[in-house]
């Protein structure tokens, strides 16, 4: 049996874009991931379905799994020869109890590594427009925890903190906010000192309440601030009104569940994140290329000189076709007699990526029906078409070709499989992003009706929207069947709702 090992990995403050490259690599190659409450859903959704996950979700005032038990879990899993990632919010060595978790491992000779994470002490103020150091206002930064051991009700040494004249950052202090502010004032800090409490920092749900030290507790109660939240005290908090930026992004406050296959999710997720949305990967389907033993594909490739057009309805179809060609020692140099058509620009991009070929035809409207109708007009009656596509492809492309009397071969080149969904809570405020009818079915097959009915679905086209509507979802439909058009439709709808 191989020797197990533990990686203590900081997940950062919540925004998946702040997760380290090394941390992402480790969760993708782990046998088991042990995580807690402060790890954001966007990061948890990066964990592959095959990786075992153990939720030890500690919450303020509620510890479903005690620290000693967590330590034992890490030891047990490592001693079974597993690659164990202990995923912790923020940085594991900054009030993350990382040192306590390593003690037992070191005692039993279990190998380990520590992967630092971006600490909330730096990232959360930055997302609220508060530079924790500034030459005009302070020359030091002090990080304090307001959460003590069980049975220890003592508060920080406020007199010492006031004398430091630096920026104070309090972790885990929401429940103690009145005592913290009162204690600093009693120790001599001016009541008018700028202060802030930042809830759900770096996420799409971030809220930033800035006040003076005296009135901050009252303002926090009025706003209903809850944990997790960071408390900042110091003159630099007054700069937030000038430098605040995260909450002004157009999709701030919007959480989108992206259901595309995991290998094709990046462009949509990146564009949504850049606009301030919180993106959670919820891949509901996967694609499996059907190259081994695919007699229909083999016959079609052997008969390529008899075809005039190759027609692609998806990036997966393009990938499968060109990989199939290479199995026969064929590349684009051998295909001067063929013309290529794609359903839209994303598929055309995949044809260029996998085959090095620029498409000859794209329809004006990016749907299967429009593609079929367009080809019926541009193809001569004697031209034969090869259509490598999904095993579960619909007839909307084929029917116009039949009506035009065109000869075609429909070759299933990949299968669309339903995927187990990550164990991430879905809330009524979330928005599903669907790029095909099959992604809708993948979700509805895995979730109960109560979990998806009445929710909002952002859909790439009419067929996808129709499928979502049949399952009781409210839909936002893109004008064109493209990722950019989906995002434009979401922006229009979301900003209109915000104004109302």
Please indicate whether residue 163 is annotated as part of the active site. no
Q: Do residue 392 and residue 457 come from a single domain?
A: no
- Output the six-digit token pair for 322: 């060109």
Q: Do residue 296 and residue 397 come from a single domain?
A: yes
Task: Output the DSSP codes for 61-117.
Answer: TB-SS-HHHHHHHHHHHHHTT-EEEEEESB-TTSSS-HHHHHHHHHHTT--EEEE--
Q: Do residue 127 and residue 238 come from a single domain?
A: yes
Write the DSSP symbol of residue 422.
P
Q: Do residue 89 and residue 206 come from a single domain?
A: no
Q: Do residue 269 and residue 295 come from a single domain?
A: no
The CATH number for 238's domain is 3.30.950.10
Q: Do residue 276 and residue 323 come from a single domain?
A: no
State the Cα angle at 500 between 268 and 251, rounded to 5°. Answer: 20
Q: Do residue 93 and residue 148 come from a single domain?
A: no
The CATH number for 336's domain is 3.40.50.10090
pLDDT score of 153: 62
Residues in the chain: 500
pLDDT score of 2: 83
Q: Of 61, 94, 118, which residue is a domain's last?
A: 118
Burial zone of 107 (CB within 10 Å; 0-12 exposed, 13-18 middle, 19+ buried): exposed
**Residues of the chain below pLDDT 50:** 60-61
Please indicate whether residue 410 is annotated as part of the active site. no
Q: Of 418, 441, 467, which residue is a domain's last?
A: 418
- Output the six-digit token pair for 339: 């013309």
List 5, 15, 22, 58, catalytic entry: 58
Task: Output the DSSP codes for 356-414.
Answer: ----SB--SS-SHHHHHHHHHHHS-TT-EEEEEEETT--STTHHHHHHTT-EEEEEEEE
Q: Do residue 227 and residue 166 come from a single domain?
A: yes
pLDDT score of 57: 80
pLDDT score of 151: 55
The Cα–Cα gap between 434 and 414 comes to 19
Distance linking the first and last C-alpha atoms of the chain: 61
Range of the domain at 331: 287-418
pTM of the model: 0.85
Q: Do residue 374 and residue 488 come from a single domain?
A: no
CA distances from 452 to 428, 432, 441 (A): 8, 9, 11
Write the DSSP symbol of residue 138.
B
List 36, 91, 430, 480, catalytic entry: 36
How many domains does the chain contain in total?
4
Q: Do residue 14 and residue 56 come from a single domain?
A: yes
């Amino acid at each position: 049996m191989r020797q197990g090992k533990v990686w203590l990995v900081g997940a950062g403050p919540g925004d998946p874009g702040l997760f380290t490259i090394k941390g992402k690599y480790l969760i993708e190659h782990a046998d088991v991931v042990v995580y807690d409450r402060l790890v954001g859903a966007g990061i948890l959704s990066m964990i592959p379905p095959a990786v075992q996950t153990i939720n030890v979700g500690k919450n303020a005032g509620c510890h479903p799994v005690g620290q000693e038990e967590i330590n034992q879990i890490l030891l047990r899993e490592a001693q079974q020869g597993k690659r164990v990632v202990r995923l912790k919010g923020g940085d594991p060595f900054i009030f993350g109890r990382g040192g306590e978790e390593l003690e037992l491992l070191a005692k039993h000779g279990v190998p380990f590594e520590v992967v630092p994470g971006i600490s909330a002490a730096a990232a959360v103020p930055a997302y609220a427009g508060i530079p924790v150091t500034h030459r005009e206002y302070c020359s030091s930064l002090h990080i304090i925890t307001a959460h003590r051991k069980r049975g220890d009700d003592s508060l920080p040494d406020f007199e010492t903190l006031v004398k430091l004249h630096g920026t104070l950052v309090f972790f885990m202090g929401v429940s103690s906010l009145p005592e913290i502010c009162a204690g600093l004032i009693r120790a001599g800090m001016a009541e008018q000192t700028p202060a802030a409490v930042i809830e759900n920092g770096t996420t799409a749900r971030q809220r930033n309440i800035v006040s003076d030290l005296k009135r901050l507790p009252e303002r926090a109660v009025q706003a209903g601030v809850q944990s997790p939240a960071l408390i900042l005290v110091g003159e630099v908090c007054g700069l937030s009104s000038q430098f605040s930026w995260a909450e002004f992004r157009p999709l701030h406050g919007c959480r989108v569940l992206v259901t595309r296959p995991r290998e094709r999710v990046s462009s949509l997720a990146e564009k949504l994140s850049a606009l301030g949305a919180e993106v959670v990967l919820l891949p509901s389907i996967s694609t499996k290329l059907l190259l081994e033993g695919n007699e229909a594909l083999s016959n079609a490739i052997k008969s390529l000189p008899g075809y005039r057009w190759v027609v692609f309805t998806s990036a997966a179809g393009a990938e499968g076709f060109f990989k199939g060609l290479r199995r026969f020692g064929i590349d684009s140099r051998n295909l001067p007699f063929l013309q290529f058509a794609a359903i839209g620009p994303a598929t055309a991009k995949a044809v260029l990526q996998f085959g090095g070929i620029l498409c000859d035809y794209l329809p004006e409207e990016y749907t299967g029906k429009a593609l079929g109708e367009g080809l019926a007009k541009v193809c001569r009656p004697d031209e034969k078409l090869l259509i490598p596509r999904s095993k579960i492809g619909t007839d909307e492309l084929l029917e116009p070709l039949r009506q035009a009397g065109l000869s075609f071969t429909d070759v299933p080149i990949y299968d669309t499989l339903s995927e187990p969904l990550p164990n991430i809570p879905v809330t009524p405020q979330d928005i599903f992003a669907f790029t095909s009818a099959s992604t809708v079915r993948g979700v509805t097959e895995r979730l109960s009706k109560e979990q998806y009915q009445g929710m909002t679905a952002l859909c790439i086209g009419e067929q996808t929207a129709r499928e979502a509507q049949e399952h009781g979802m409210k839909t936002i439909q893109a004008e064109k069947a493209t990722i950019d058009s989906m995002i434009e439709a979401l922006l229009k709808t979301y900003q209109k709702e915000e104004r109302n």
